[in-house]
Chain A
Amino acid sequence: MDSKDWRGVGAMVVDCTVRLFGTFGAELRYTGSPDPIPAADQLTVAVIGLASEALRGSLVMGATPKVLELTHPLRTEKGGHLDNESLRDWAGELANRLVGRVKIQLLTHGITIQLGTPTTMSGRELTLGAALKNPECLPHCFEIGDDWLLVRMEAVAHPETKLSDDPKPVPATDEGGMLIF
């Protein structure tokens, strides 16, 4: 994949992130690729591996507690601040939904990937390191109020992998859709 393709993948990640959070009524503001990558007093991180012959790597999502609480489906029931375990669990679910969206986008451009299951962690002064294996994979930062979210999909591609210039719709059903067999 050339730089144009990697920028295309980055644009997919940004688009999918904004749309995903939009489904929860959270309007993210994309602020680009920060350098240095910020550290938060408290950060929850979810990592999901992805692999195929074409592409392998991971998607990493780091969010401040407020961002996760804003979208958490049990926030009204529990009230106040959610505990770390709930935030980690929800970060994993959000990362899963995000990488699922990216997977569909990649598929429309002819790239198939298989996904792992999320690993999550939380801590103080955590930061996402720079991409080690592929400097084309930039972190993407989003703000909502005073809080923020970082997403980075880092991957290496097979030498012959490229994004199709002619995206084809993937047979799929819309979110929230239901099929009774």
Chain B
Amino acid sequence: MKKKILVIDDSETIRTQVGQLLRIAGYEVLEAPDGIIGAFTIRERNDLSLVICDVNMPRMDGLEMLDVLRGQTENLPILMLTTEARLDKMDRAKRAGAKAWIIKPFKPELLVAAVAKLVGT
């Protein structure tokens, strides 16, 4: 069975781009356009292997989503994929449970390698 990855980003272009990369790499991909729908999807499903999440999004940003889910995602790795490059933001994400941080623009092979490492394939 293919491992399922949730991609949360307000840009449909980025969701599509990341989704294409991951599907080619053999994963099943789900999408969410903001942190509210992302958090809802994470809580509703127990079959996700990884979450890839933007930071700057409308309604609920990625760091707020991590705070909302704090303590509920110990076994679900979360990779932040964002333009945000400040270390204090990364530290906040780390303390809230994120496992990795990639800064856009990203190299496709780097993203796929990071995903493989985080989902253990």
Is A110 part of the binding interface, using a Cβ–Cβ cutoff of 8 Å? no
Residue of B nearest to A73 (CB): B17
- Docked complex Cα distance between A177 and B83 (Å): 11
Taking A175-B103, A179-B100, A181-B98 as contacts, is the C-beta distance between A92 and B86 under 8 angstroms? no
Chain B neighbourhood of A23, CB < 8 A: 105
How many chain A residues touch B (Cβ–Cβ < 8 Å)?
32
Taking CB atoms, residues of chain A closer than 8 Å to B87 are 171-173
Task: Kindly report which residue of chain A lies nearest to residue B114, judged by CB atoms.
Answer: A178
Q: Is B44 an interface residue (CB 8 A)?
A: no
Docked pose: A72 CA to B109 CA in angstroms: 18
Determine the main DSSP class of B at the interface with A. Answer: mixed
With CB as the reference atom, state the residue of chain A lying closest to B34.
Answer: A117
Q: Which of A85, A90, A117, A179 contacts B58 (CB 8 A)?
A: A117
CA distance A73 to B111 in the complex (A): 15
Instruction: Say whether B106 faces chain A, with CB atoms less than 8 Å apart.
Output: yes
Q: Is B12 an interface residue (CB 8 A)?
A: yes
Instruction: Name the B residues within 8 Å of A172 (CB-CB).
Output: 85-87
The verdict on A132 contacting chain B, using a C-beta distance below 8 Å, is no
On chain A, the residues within 8 Å of B93 by CB distance are 181
Cross-chain contact A181 with B103 (CB below 8 angstroms)? no
Q: Does B45 contact A (CB under 8 A)?
A: no
Give the size range of B's interface with the partner: 20 to 34
Contacting B101 at CB < 8 Å: which of A73, A86, A107, A181?
A181
With both beta carbons as reference points, the residue of chain A lying nearest to B83 in the complex is identified as A100
| Contact flags A161-181 to B (C-beta < 8 A → 1, else 0) | 000000000111111111111
- Please give, as numbers and ranges, the residues of chain B lying within 8 Å of A85 by CB-CB distance: 12
In the bound complex, residues from chain A placing their C-beta under 8 Å from that of B98 are 181
Nearest-neighbour CB distance to chain A for B34, whole angstroms, equals 9
A23-B105 Cα distance, complex, nearest whole Å? 8
B85/A100 in contact, CB under 8 A: yes
B117 touches A (CB below 8 Å): yes
Which single member of A77, A86, A174 contacts B103 (CB below 8 Å)? A174
Among candidates B11, B17, B107, B110, residue contacting A92 with C-beta atoms closer than 8 Å: B11
Quick check: A93 and B101 within 8 Å, CB to CB?
no
Q: Evaluate contact between B101 and A176: CB separation under 8 angstroms.
A: no
B90 within 8 A of A: yes
Closest 3 CB pairs of A and B: A100-B83, A172-B85, A171-B87
Chain B residues in contact with chain A, CB under 8 A? Answer: 10-14, 16-17, 20, 56-58, 83-88, 90, 93-94, 98-107, 110, 114, 117-118
Can you name 20 extra interface pairs (CB under 8 A) apart from A171-B88, A177-B103, A181-B93? A23-B105, A73-B14, A74-B16, A74-B20, A85-B12, A89-B13, A92-B10, A100-B84, A117-B57, A170-B86, A172-B87, A173-B87, A173-B90, A176-B106, A177-B85, A178-B100, A179-B90, A179-B102, A180-B114, A180-B118
